[in-house]
């Protein structure tokens, strides 16, 4: 086994569940909280616990933990609001999703330093919102917060996964690659904090034909849904971050 991608998670849909919205923080049952953590965090822990020692025996391996832009920021509940509903009936993004995704970032930092001497690299991918047939009003609200003016397409993170799993990122561990040009990227690019850009090609590369240059390789790859960030190759910087300086 060379690569482990921890991608399992419950995905609680944002919806109004009637007069008493059970996903709101004040109503959320403990069993939903526990189940979401069992799948999203405990599942990743167990997969890492039992699979990675096999990689360590070979002194080489990669873990990619899938988080979310909501593992970097809190959800903006305003984009889910619906007219005509009282505040206590409004649909929301549940607390469990955001907290689980933040936990994946923490797990990445821990595992990256724990297994560093065994040649195991561990990084997080935190994607922004992907269009998947969401209601038009929701898409409009989210898109208004995005510098690129749209949500991501389903295939626009493939290159990022390939990069993190390949030797092109061999000098990189303990980092969170936030491809978050949804509300996360918008707020970062427009004055809060900057994270997570993969650069494209050299100055002579036409914008209509982006080429990613990584580790001496030139990749013609779809990185259109990415702007306003900074890509850190985090074996040096990442070590400091993972060990508590930032």
Tens of pLDDT along the chain (246 residues) come to 999 999 999 876 665 455 467 888 889 999 999 999 999 999 999 999 999 999 999 999 999 999 998 888 888 889 888 888 888 888 888 999 999 999 999 999 999 999 999 999 999 998 888 899 999 999 999 888 888 888 999 888 889 999 999 999 999 999 877 654 444 444 444 433 333 333 323 333 333 334 444 444 444 444 445 554 444 444 443 444 445 433
Q: What's the CA gap between 151 and 131, in Å, rounded?
A: 6
Coil, strand or helix: which one is 176? strand
CA torsion 194-200-205-211 (nearest 10°) is -170
| pLDDT for 23 | 86
- How far is residue 168 from each of residues 3, 14, 140, 164, measured CA to CA in Å? 14, 37, 36, 8
| pLDDT for 3 | 96
The burial class, CB within 10 Å (0-12 / 13-18 / 19+), for 48 is buried
| pLDDT for 148 | 83
The DSSP symbol for 70 reads: G
């Amino acid at each position: 086994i060379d690569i482990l991608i921890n991608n399992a998670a419950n995905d609680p849909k944002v919806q109004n569940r009637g007069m008493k919205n059970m996903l709101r923080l004040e109503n959320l049952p403990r069993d939903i909280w526990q189940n979401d953590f069992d799948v999203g965090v405990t599942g990743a822990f167990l997969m890492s616990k039992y699979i990675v020692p096999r990689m360590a025996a070979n002194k080489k391996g990669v873990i990619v933990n899938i988080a979310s832009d909501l593992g970097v920021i809190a959800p903006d509940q305003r984009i889910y609001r619906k007219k005509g509903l009282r505040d206590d009936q409004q649909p929301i993004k549940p607390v469990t999703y955001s907290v689980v995704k933040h936990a994946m970032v923490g797990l990445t930092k821990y595992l990256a330093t724990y297994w560093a001497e065994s040649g195991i690299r561990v990084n997080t991918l935190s994607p922004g919102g992907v269009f998947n047939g969401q209601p038009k009003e929701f898409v409009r609200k989210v898109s208004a917060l995005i510098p690129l003016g749209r949500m991501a397409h389903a295939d626009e993170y493939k290159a990022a996964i390939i990069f993190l799993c390949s030797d092109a990122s061999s000098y990189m561990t303990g980092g969170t690659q936030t491809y978050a040009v949804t509300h996360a990227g918008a707020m970062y690019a427009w004055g809060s904090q900057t994270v997570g850009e993969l650069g494209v090609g050299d100055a002579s590369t036409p914008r209509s034909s982006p080429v990613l240059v990584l580790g001496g390789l030139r990749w013609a790859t779809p990185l259109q849904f990415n702007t306003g960030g900074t890509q850190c190759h985090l074996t040096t910087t990442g070590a400091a971050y993972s060990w508590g300086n930032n």
